[in-house]
Amino acid sequence: MTPTVEGWAADEAVTHLFAAHYRPLVRLATLLLHDSGRAEEIVQDAYVALHGHWRRLRDADKALAYLRASVVNRSRSALRHRQVVDRHLALARPVPDAPSAEAGALDALRHDAVVAALRALPTRQREALVLRYYLDLSEADIAATMGCSRGAVKSHTSRGMAALRETLERSS
């Protein structure tokens, strides 16, 4: 980021960090939540909180780590609140998204199967996989973002991959 970061007022910080990270963070939250409207609210909440904490952060890298952790945490909390409702709706709900033209080498059905399998994972396994394979974060960064140990990240990741393996292999 720019060398003048430390001189940013909270407002400037939000503006810069918005331009650089808002869209990816909304996409991250959407992958975790499967609800882009809610994802966007959560990311906005995270930026508002960042604004309040800027005095203590004063560093673009720390701020990004803060935003990421905040988004993951808020998504987790939103999911928890939604779970009961979802259980009731799960059977009635149609396939969530229209097939995407951007699915590339995968055909739409296989893409949807993987997305559905990901969605069925326990929250922390999904978090670990998304942070690793979507954001390409290191194990240490994933641990910091999720608020757990690196050992826990390893175990969430490998369990998540094991659960997805059958679906993935059918898709490849």
Partner 1 sequence: MTRDEDVLRQVLEAEAAKVEVRPDALAAIRARTARRWRWLPFGAIAFTAATATAATLVVVALAARPAPDHTAPDPGAVTAPATTPTPAPTPPATSAPPAAPPASRSSTSSGTASASLAVYYVGEDRGEPRLYREFHRLPAGSSPAEKARAAVTEMLAQESADDPDYTSAWPSGTRVLDVSVEGAGATVLLSAAPPDDLAGQQLAWTVAAALGGDPEVRVVVGGREVAKLRKAAALDTLGALWLIEPQHGTTVARTFEVHAAGTVFEATARLTVRKGRTVVTEKTVTLSAGPPARGEARITLTLAPGTYVLELYAFSAADGSVQHLDDHTVTVR
State which of residues 1, 16, 49, 154 lies at the interface with partner 1 (CB under 8 A).
49
Site for partner 1 in 79-108 (CB under 8 A): 80-85, 88-89, 97, 100, 102-106
CB 69 within 8 A of CB 16: no
Amino acid at 96: P
SS3 content of the chain, % helix, strand, coil (to 5): 75, 0, 25
d(CA 66, CA 19): 16
CA distances from 96 to 32, 37, 47, 113, 135 (A): 14, 14, 28, 11, 23
Tokens standing for residue 19: 């331009």
Q: Name which of 63 and 118 has its Cβ closer to partner 1.
A: 118
> According to the binding rule CB under 8 A, does residue 27 interact with partner 1?
yes
Q: In terms of CB distance, is 3 or 169 closer to partner 1? A: 169
Residues near partner 1 (CB under 8 A) are 10-11, 14-15, 18, 22-23, 26-28, 30-31, 36, 38-42, 44-49, 51-53, 69-70, 73-74, 77-78, 80-85, 88-89, 97, 100, 102-106, 111, 114-115, 118, 129-130, 133-134, 147-148, 161, 164-165, 168-169, 171-172
